[in-house]
Amino acid sequence: MDSGNFDSILELAEVKVSEYLEGSLKEGRIDQQLYNEAKKNILPNLARWLKDAHIDKHLPHLKEGICSAINNNRIENEDKKWENIVNAFRQSVRFGTGGIRGMMAPDKDSIIRLKSEGIDAPILKGPNTINDLVFLLTSVGVAKFGRDQQPKFTKVVIGYDSRIRGYDLAALVAQLFLAYDYTVYFFDAPCPYPEVTFAIPDSSIKADVGILISASHNDYRYNGYKLSCGNGSQFDPEERDEMYEKYIANSKPEQINLVPFDKAPEGRLWFLGGNELVAGFDYAGKEDFLINIHEKHRNHVKSFLLTEGLAKQQNSSSNPLKIAYCAFHGSGNVAVPRLLREVGFADVRPITHNGLNDLNGLFPSFCSEPGREQQPDPGDPRAAKIAVEAFKSEYPGQFKDIDILIGTDPDADRCGVVVKVPQSQQHLHNGEDYYLLPADDMWALVLWYRLQRDIEKHGCVKDAEKKFITLSHTTSDSITHLARKRGLGVVRTWVGFASLAAATRDVWDQKTDRIIDLVDGRNLKYTDLCHPFVCDCRGMDNGKRSINVGAMEQSNGFSILGGPPIDKRSLGVGGHVRDKDGTFAALLIAEIAAWAKENGTTLIELLDKQIYLDPDVGLFVNLYEPDPLDGEYPGIEGDRLKKAILRRAIGYFQLALSGDLEIGGLGVKSACIYRTGKYDTIYPPSYDFQFPDEGVRFFFDDKKLQHVTIRPSGTGNALRFHIQLHDDSVTESNLIEKKAQLLARGRAIMDNIRDLLKAPRA
């Protein structure tokens, strides 16, 4: 197309975008701030993408897709057409601690075109969608940032999971890093994210940065660019901000250069995989440059087992553990069953029904009606039900024999476990004989088991005075109480493994100003800024502890970070990766389930007896729901809706301070706002609205053990509702009754908070 045609396209867009924005503002679908930002950005962004001749060199069909979307006269809903244009160009994809994530396209037809035609398919793309140009510009920024470091970055690990065209996007990114003189370590098959974070600091690689092309557990429309630093954790906020503001935000298409794999200089392109070449994969003549990272990762994970001779025990057992496994169409499909079988779990039954074990980024088992695209999230009870029903279809009559069902998400960094429910408790779970064990309970069991085995071996928790756990502030206090009972310190952080890793590193580095003991629920004012990644600490002895024995979060993430590393580019001594690992968690849970079965009990019975009936812990019930239940409220109108809900939450915060608020039949005793300011560039503070990035919390008791939290996503138009309830009067005779009471109370609170905030369930 010549520039004249682009001028006419831009003239049309200017008129129609203005009409859409003005109509949306008038009808209250967007607010004035969103209107102003969109009005300022859309036309300049559109002009840059259409008129930059350098784009055509590498992405010849990109402009065709934009023009087709603007000229599309076949779309019935004209407002929807211009809403899509607005959302694609109103801003750049939001850059968070873990990189970028967002929609490749809002509709399934476009995703199918990407799948069938390739990453340069002529669909609508813009700076606010996930696409090849956004990935290339982001990579330019990361590469240039690394070149300016002292010492400069020279090595990068790149992987991808089962997302649509994941390999092609990853290869494009790898070709750019080759052009910027990096040595590239590229996975030869879709891989779990934990293998990327493990490979980066591996002694045979010692990379500076890692990238995974993945959108974790989001639905098929999404993709992302997950970024890790030289020790495998996510970049610190300061580094991330510098990388984005000075480099990525200033990247230009003329800075894009690519070196194809077959042109890579000798020794500058390595492949990561197993001990054999992958059939059908093009190694570009570099078959000798293959590192068996799968085996290294498995051997490292196996070193954390506490059961000596597990394989022998399972082989000789008259009733060995029976495991079902669901890969949720993701990259754990080979890694997890292989790991479980290698340590002795011979009876692992992968679920293949409806392609659940296939690497299919359309996630066909999770496609519901339009607008309700479900997520392949192993921590979602609805996804767990899909896995159970698929198992029953594939293995008729065999579900009664299965002890646990393990699931991992598409990049295998999250783990969920379905357990059998004793008949006496099935009424608590809608009469079902199974349910998805909440991550809060899973991690409590993992901590209890590992401490208990230590006590059995040494008579006490060895070196308890040196040990601590790290968990996010939305993760259950049952774990906090258990840790303190056994003499461990506790660091609570904000949500996300970046915060867990950063806080643990501060403990290692003895930054005592950040890890002094604090009490949760301080009387924070609306304008107060909290510490960037630490919520509070308990029993940390002013930073004298040094060994992390668990890092865990409510969103099904777990790792063990160990003691201070030998240098800043290594794993902690005796520790695992500095981000969550679903394959690792799967093995640890399987070991506990096997131990329980050998001792004539189950995971639920262990949880009840050893944790909730412990008078030093008590019964905790934690409930969680996202808002909306699937995905996010889309686009610019979703931004307005999220902010409106948060404004209502802040209004109820003010009401709580006056002692005049009740939620779900419980009086609110106090409230606080957790705000770190990390998204203030996205949501600029004003006199009447300051984005509460870590949530608004309402406490129902003076001990601050019962509360509800409304927490927004910073980079997506979604919210999270977290409820914690506690009862310390439980006995063996009333435990089930108390569970029922707290569950009913929690559901009433959840329903009421949605009513108060006018937050629908869809």
Does residue 53 contact residue 88 with C-beta atoms inside 8 Å? no
How confident is the model over 20-30, as a mean pLDDT?
95
Question: pLDDT tens digits for 337-367?
Answer: 999 999 999 999 999 999 999 999 999 998 7
- Residue-wise pLDDT for 263-318, tens only, equals 999 999 999 999 999 999 999 999 999 999 999 999 999 999 999 888 888 888 88
Domain boundaries, given as residue ranges, for the chain:
1-91, 303-428, 441-580, 619-757
Summarize pLDDT for 170-207 with one digit per residue, the tens: 999 999 999 999 999 999 999 999 999 999 999 999 99
- Residue whose pair of structure tokens reads 């692992």 in the numeric block: 348
Q: Is the pLDDT of residue 521 over 50?
A: no
The fold for domain 303-428 equals Alpha-D-Glucose-1,6-Bisphosphate; Chain A, domain 3 (3.40.120)
pLDDT for the residue numbered 516: 59
Whole-angstrom distance, CA of residue 755 vs CA of residue 182: 53
pLDDT of residue 622: 97
Q: Strand 404-408 and strand 322-326: pairing? A: parallel
Q: What is the pLDDT of residue 518?
A: 54
Q: Please give the DSSP secondary-structure letter assigned to residue 562.
A: B
Q: How many CB atoms lie within 10 A of CB 77?
A: 9
Give the DSSP H or E segment for 143: helix 132-147
Q: State yes or no: pLDDT of 372 exceeds 90.
A: no
CB 495 within 8 A of CB 580: no
The conformational region for residue 463 under phi > 0 = left, psi -120 to 50 = alpha, else beta, is left
> Hey, what amino acid is at 86?
V
> In which element (H, E) is residue 433 found?
none
Which pLDDT belongs to residue 157?
A: 98
Tell the CATH topology of 441-580: Alpha-D-Glucose-1,6-Bisphosphate; Chain A, domain 3 (3.40.120)
For residues 709 and 707, what is the distance between their CA atoms, to the nearest angstrom?
7
**Cβ atoms of residues 212 and 99 within 8 Å:** no
Bridge partners for 697 per DSSP: 672, 709
Q: What phi, psi does 568 have (nearest 5°)? A: -75, -5
Strands 222-228 and 290-292, by their bridges, are unpaired
Residue among 388, 476, 390 nearest 433 (CA): 388
The pLDDT of residue 1 is above 70:
no
Dump strand ranges (E) for 611-718: 619-627, 662-663, 666-667, 670-674, 695-699, 707-712
Strands 434-437 and 415-420, sheet pairing: antiparallel
Give the distance from CA 185 to its chain's centroid. Answer: 24
pLDDT for 73 beyond 80? no
Q: Does residue 521 contact residue 697 with C-beta atoms inside 8 Å?
A: yes
Contacts (Cβ under 8 Å, ≥6 apart) of 582:
192, 194, 332, 336, 378, 408, 409, 412, 413, 414, 415, 556
Q: Is the torsion defined by CA of 627, 630, 632, 634 positive or negative?
A: negative
Within 10 angstroms of residue 755's Cβ, the number of other Cβ atoms is: 12
> Phi-psi bin for 35: left (phi > 0), alpha (psi -120 to 50), beta?
alpha
- CB of 184 within 8 A of CB of 176? no
The answer to whether domain 303-428 and domain 619-757 are alike in fold is: no
Average pLDDT over all residues of the chain: 93
**Distance of alpha carbon 606 from alpha carbon 622, whole angstroms:** 18
Please give the Cα distance from 621 to 627 (Å, whole number): 20
What does the block give as tokens for 530?
């909290």
762 pLDDT more than 60: no
Closest to 337 (Cα-Cα) out of 590, 560, 596, 579: 590
Q: In what order do the strands lie in the sheet with 209-213?
A: 95-96, 99-103, 222-228, 209-213, 155-160, 183-187, 269-273, 290-292
- CA–chain centroid gap for 671, Å, is 27
| Topology of the domain comprising 619-757 | TATA-Binding Protein (3.30.310)
CB 558 within 8 A of CB 551: yes
- At a CB cut-off of 8 Å and minimum separation 6, what does 327 contact? 333, 336, 350, 351, 356, 357, 407, 408, 412
